[in-house]
Chains A and B, each alone.
Chain A
Amino acid sequence: MNKIEVKNLDLYYGEVQALYGVNMQIEEKEITAFIGPSGCGKSTLLKTLNRMNDLVEGCRITGEVLLENTDIYKDMDVYQLRKRVGMVFQKPNPFPMSIYDNIAYGPRTHGVRSRVALDEVVEDSLKKAALWDEVKDRLKKSALGLSGGQQQRLCIARALAVQPEVILMDEPTSALDPISTAKIEDLALELKNAYTIVMVTHNMQQATRISDKTGFFLMGKVVEYGTTEQVFSMPREKETENYITGRFG
């Protein structure tokens, strides 16, 4: 089943067009990877999926982005959208507060007040993000004291705390060491059983290891979109082949 459908999407930053006629169907409970050189539009498309581009001045779009057949730009409250479509960024960005409060922040803003309910959400989210065992004895300590890899898993736990359906990840491991990277990759594979994951990555091997589908972007266009196995073993387009084999340009 398609979780997200992008139809004829053009995106402009002022006069500059950043995306051209993007059409894409993102399958539910799969990991979809976006790859391509810097400035190709992959992060821009990722951000349109939960309207992060609304914050960019002069940004406008034409076309449609549908979340379960509902147009997220026309027929959905942005607050509701971001509850359903969470995001994890390249650099871990925990709030300067305790581990517990980081996780409880989202549910609190959505009106959860009961201590018992919050305790439950915190434990559940940290367990899902494979961080609980490492932090259960210091939940009241500052999140800033965690390692980079732990901080990134905390950010994933924070995204999970509001019970989203889709998790967007923008190069979630590019600032992490190989061990932390492996933990995030294992986590993504575990999470896809319950969530739809869309990930931007510059790490080709990561895309081949964990994603089901891969989209290759170049100069604002989706050059090729298919199963990861097909894209990395028998790419249809010459440009894809040149990029993934490192002979781009």
Chain B
Amino acid sequence: MRNRFDEQLETLNNELIKMGSLIEYAIEKATDAFITQNNDEAEMVIRFDKEVDDKEKQIEGLCLKLLLQQQPVARDLRQISAALKMITDMERIGDQAADISEIVMMLGRYPELKEMIHIPKMAEATIKMVKESIDAYVKKDLGLAKQVIDYDDVVDDLFVVVKDELIELIRSNVKQSEAAADMLMVAKYYERIGDHATNIAEWVIFSITGEKTI
């Protein structure tokens, strides 16, 4: 029964997984461009954002079609409404990967990152959050979704550490202050990506249990 609807829900699921892969790719490449100071790679990430945006539009259309045609209730309604909310957060993550890349291109040469090991650590932590939030959706893994939410504290703490490091950098070398301000923005983008991954995890929990943690 409702074979067609089940197929459409499966398509929705697959499209969300694809969008998840797109944003994982975008932040990994943006991070790589930042660490290796590679402008070509940064430019690629900026262009790539259109693919994320297109995927969001496509999934949004699919969700609205399902709401209209199938008038879903119970777990179907939760899955579709969660998907609609999640793609907004995913799209923002894509934007922030592009924002980081724009700063990479503006920065030119900047201080040795070896001295600021905490920005790459922050990047690593947020990438882990995004990956696991999508994994939690794919596997309907409540425990993993909760871990993602808890892990946001790690990212928030790292942001404070990075901020302190950058203040120290400005104090020790005023010429680096502009670069330091840009890097603070990069760190803030990672921190925001962590927040969006938290939102995704919260919608995963809603789609499984019906509980709104937001």
**Could you list which residues of chain A lie within 8 angstroms of chain B, going by C-beta atoms?**
204-205, 208, 232-235, 241, 244-249
- Nearest neighbor of A232 in chain B, beta-carbon distance: B73
A233 & B1 in contact (Cβ 8 Å cutoff): no
**Could you list which residues of chain B lie within 8 angstroms of chain A, going by C-beta atoms?**
1-2, 5-6, 71-78, 210
CA of A245 to CA of B74, assembled, Å:
7
Chain A residues within an 8 Å CB radius of B6? 247
CA of A205 to CA of B6, assembled, Å:
20
- Nearest neighbor of A241 in chain B, beta-carbon distance: B74
CA of A249 to CA of B77, assembled, Å:
20
Chain A residues within an 8 Å CB radius of B71? 204-205
Q: Which of B1, B6, B74, B78 has the most CB of A within 10 A?
A: B74
A204 & B210 in contact (Cβ 8 Å cutoff): no
A244 & B74 in contact (Cβ 8 Å cutoff): yes
A247 & B2 in contact (Cβ 8 Å cutoff): yes
A208 & B210 in contact (Cβ 8 Å cutoff): no
Chain A residues within an 8 Å CB radius of B78? 233
| A229 CB → nearest B CB, Å | 11
| Cross-chain contact of B5 among A204, A208, A241, A246 (Cβ < 8 A) | A246
| A75 CB → nearest B CB, Å | 40
B5 & A232 in contact (Cβ 8 Å cutoff): no
Chain B residues within an 8 Å CB radius of A248? 1
A233 & B77 in contact (Cβ 8 Å cutoff): yes
B74 & A233 in contact (Cβ 8 Å cutoff): yes
Q: Which of A232, A241, A246 has the most CB of B within 10 A?
A: A246
CA of A247 to CA of B70, assembled, Å:
12
A232 & B74 in contact (Cβ 8 Å cutoff): yes
| A246 CB → nearest B CB, Å | 5
Chain A residues within an 8 Å CB radius of B1? 246-249
**Contacts A233-B77, A233-B78 known; A245 to B210 CB distance under 8 Å?**
no
B2 & A204 in contact (Cβ 8 Å cutoff): no
6 residue pairs from A and B, CB less than 8 Å apart: A204-B71, A205-B71, A233-B77, A244-B74, A246-B2, A248-B1
CA of A244 to CA of B71, assembled, Å:
11
| B115 CB → nearest A CB, Å | 52
CA of A245 to CA of B71, assembled, Å:
9
Starting from the known contacts A233-B73, A245-B2, A247-B6, 9 additional A-B residue pairs (CB-CB under 8 Å) come to A233-B74, A233-B77, A241-B75, A245-B72, A245-B74, A245-B75, A245-B76, A246-B2, A248-B1
Q: Which of B5, B71, B72, B73 has the most CB of A within 10 A?
A: B73
CA of A141 to CA of B71, assembled, Å:
41
A244 & B73 in contact (Cβ 8 Å cutoff): yes
| B125 CB → nearest A CB, Å | 34
CA of A204 to CA of B74, assembled, Å:
12
Chain B residues within an 8 Å CB radius of A232? 73-74
CA of A247 to CA of B73, assembled, Å:
12
Chain A residues within an 8 Å CB radius of B2? 245-247
- Nearest neighbor of B78 in chain A, beta-carbon distance: A233
CA of A241 to CA of B73, assembled, Å:
9
**Contacts A248-B1, A249-B1 known; A233 to B76 CB distance under 8 Å?**
no
Chain B residues within an 8 Å CB radius of A244? 73-74
| A202 CB → nearest B CB, Å | 14
- Nearest neighbor of A248 in chain B, beta-carbon distance: B1
The 9 closest A-B pairs by CB, nearest first: A234-B210, A246-B2, A232-B73, A244-B73, A247-B1, A245-B76, A241-B74, A245-B74, A247-B2
A234 & B74 in contact (Cβ 8 Å cutoff): yes
| A151 CB → nearest B CB, Å | 28
B72 & A233 in contact (Cβ 8 Å cutoff): no
Chain B residues within an 8 Å CB radius of A249? 1
